[in-house]
């Protein structure tokens, strides 16, 4: 763990791969979006419970945590639940490339929120880099927009999902300064799971009416996309700014699109490839800017 603390970029890479698999797994689920999301979080809580309950230091930290901090964790879980439902549903109406690209505009909303509500500052180079990565994302989405159908509805759901996950990321930045990753993620995942189950009940969905598809997909999402994805990014918030963590997630549409080529034969166009190059270049340069700023502040 000490090695990873000295080289947190390794965890950023693992997190990107984890979240990139999310859209792929969701495509294989035959259940409604809320049901798939509910199983994802129920599995996540089940897998994390032995660690959260079994370790004495974690139990002690829960006892020491103040109500305000736990309340923020709960609010974070609520917004994560909103994100999952909306984003999973968007994948029913648009392609993997378009949906993952638009949801990655999270970096724009996080940067704005960081500056407006957390007194953060972004240099001119950082703003320009974010703009370039955003342009690359929009190039991919535009290239995919010719598919027609309910594409715009799917795009809109992805956009709202991006705003929701930006709130989740910003709250995580505040909470992670006070509690460990385990306490933070376990609390928010429990709340998120509860919200999703209640959503299923309110919509008249029975969790077990859809066979093994949703259960298996939920498990895969829990292991690869939540624990090895979102949880890792929550851990990274201790070592990087929320803007950088969100910018790193912009690699998701590129990696997800590569998976989609082999699994769904979604061949990217020249514009999609050009957009991917912009995204990767922008994220790498933004990483360099963040590393330089960290060294200067020491």
| pLDDT value for 296 | 60
257-282 mean pLDDT: 79
Comparing 181 with 145, which gets the higher pLDDT? 181
Give the DSSP H/E element, type plus range, for residue 6: helix 2-6
On the question of pLDDT at 183 being above 90, the answer is no
By the 8 A CB rule, do 229 and 102 touch? no
Measured distance CA(217)–CA(214) in Å, rounded: 5
Taking the model in full, what pTM does it have?
0.78
Q: Is 138 exposed, middle or buried (0-12, 13-18, 19+ CB in 10 A)?
A: middle
Residues comprising the chain, all counted: 298
Nearest to 166 by CA among 233, 226, 97: 233
SS (H, E, C) 175-193: HCCCCCHHHHHHHHHHHHH
Q: Could you state, in order of their start, the residue ranges of all structural domains in the chain?
A: 2-297
Contacts of residue 154, defined as CB under 8 A and 6 or more positions apart, other chains included, come to 89, 90, 91, 92, 93, 94, 98, 99
Query: What is the 8-class DSSP label of residue 177?
Result: T
- Six-digit token string for 272: 């999609």
Measured distance CA(142)–CA(272) in Å, rounded: 8
Beta strands in 123-228 (DSSP E): none
Express each pLDDT in 24-36 by its tens digit. 898 888 889 899 9
On the question of pLDDT at 148 being above 70, the answer is no
């Amino acid at each position: 763990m000490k090695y990873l603390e000295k080289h947190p970029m390794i965890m950023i890479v693992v997190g990107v791969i984890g979240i990139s698999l999310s859209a792929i797994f969701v495509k294989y689920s035959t259940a409604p979006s809320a049901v798939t999301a509910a199983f994802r979080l129920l599995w996540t809580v089940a897998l994390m419970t032995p660690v959260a309950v079994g370790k004495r230091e974690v139990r002690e930290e829960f006892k020491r945590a103040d109500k305000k901090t736990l309340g923020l964790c709960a609010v974070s879980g609520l917004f994560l639940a909103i994100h999952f439902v909306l984003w999973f549903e968007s994948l029913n109406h648009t392609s993997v490339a378009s949906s993952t690209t638009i949801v990655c505009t999270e970096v724009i909303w996080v940067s704005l929120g960081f500056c407006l509500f957390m007194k953060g500052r972004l240099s001119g180079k950082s703003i320009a880099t974010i703009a370039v990565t955003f342009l690359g994302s929009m190039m991919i989405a535009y290239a995919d927009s010719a598919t027609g159908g309910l594409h715009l509805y799917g795009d809109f759901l992805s956009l709202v999902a991006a705003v929701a996950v930006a709130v989740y990321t910003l709250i995580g930045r505040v909470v992670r300064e006070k509690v460990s990753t385990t306490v933070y993620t376990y609390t928010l995942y429990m709340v998120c799971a509860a919200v999703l189950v209640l959503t299923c009940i309110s919509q008249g969905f029975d969790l077990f009416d859809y066979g093994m598809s949703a259960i298996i997909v939920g498990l895969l999402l829990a292991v690869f996309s939540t624990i090895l994805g979102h949880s890792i990014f929550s851990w990274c918030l201790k070592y990087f700014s929320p803007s950088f963590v969100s910018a790193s997630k912009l690699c998701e549409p590129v990696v997800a699109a590569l998976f989609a080529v082999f699994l769904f034969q979604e061949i990217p166009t020249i514009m999609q490839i050009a957009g991917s190059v912009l995204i990767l270049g922008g994220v790498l340069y933004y990483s360099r800017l963040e590393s330089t700023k960290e060294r200067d502040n020491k």
